[in-house]
Amino acid sequence: MAEVVLFHHVQGLTPGVVAFADELRAAGHTVHTPDLFEGRTFDSLEEGMAYVRQVGFGEVAARGVRAADGLPREVVHVGFSLGVVPAQELAQTRAGARGALLMHACIPVSEFGAEWPKGVPVQVHAMEDDSFFAEDAEAARALVAGSSDAELFLYPGEQHLFADSSLPSYDPDAAQLLTRRAVEFLDAVDRDAVDRDAVDRDGGDPR
């Protein structure tokens, strides 16, 4: 079982984000879903962005970082779009991170450190013609080029929040594939953690 903290996108902690978290839970993982908008959800990206501008982008990101304070350090950090900001910051700067899943966005690694931390696996997922991801694509490719622990998955289409089943942008085929890959990623992280614990107990190769 992997432990996960999942940060929502700019429309808030929508039923679709909760449903995605529930799918990870159904696969046997523990998932925390902090609400960075204090109960607010929005019907459009534009309305959500207006709220973020009102509160302050830095404050929203800081809320995400603070939300992890009460959680174990050995977690996988997951973000949807806006939620990628705290997820990526924590994965790069908080010792003990098990991995990261960055959906619909990717921040240049240099924003949070000189390079991606070694031994922390990361996946980036987005639609290849998503106009919101166009600027992030370069950062995602640079991340993959600079780290053997990084993968980039591009899906056919142009929708941004395609993995949120409660939004019109939902693409069931792409979302199903993304979810399967996310579960496989978490399963692999869990296996790696078990192997590391065995090495620590035995003081050598668990075999």
The full set of domains in the chain, from first to last, is: 3-202 (3.40.50.1820)
Provide the residue-wise pLDDT of the chain in tens; the chain has 207 residues. 899 999 999 999 999 999 999 999 999 999 999 999 999 999 999 999 999 999 999 999 999 999 999 899 999 999 999 999 999 999 999 999 999 999 999 999 999 988 999 999 999 999 999 999 998 999 999 999 999 999 999 999 999 999 999 999 999 999 999 999 999 999 999 887 655 654 455 665 544
Two tokens, residue 84 = 């990628």
Inter-CA distances, 20 with 7, 11, 33, 111, 115, Å: 11, 15, 10, 28, 29
Neighbours of 13 (CB within 10 A): 23
pTM: 0.92
- Quote the pLDDT of residue 196: 60
- Quote the pLDDT of residue 16: 98
- Quote the pLDDT of residue 189: 95
- Quote the pLDDT of residue 193: 64
- Quote the pLDDT of residue 29: 97
| Angle at CA of residue 188, ends 185 and 192, nearest 5° | 140
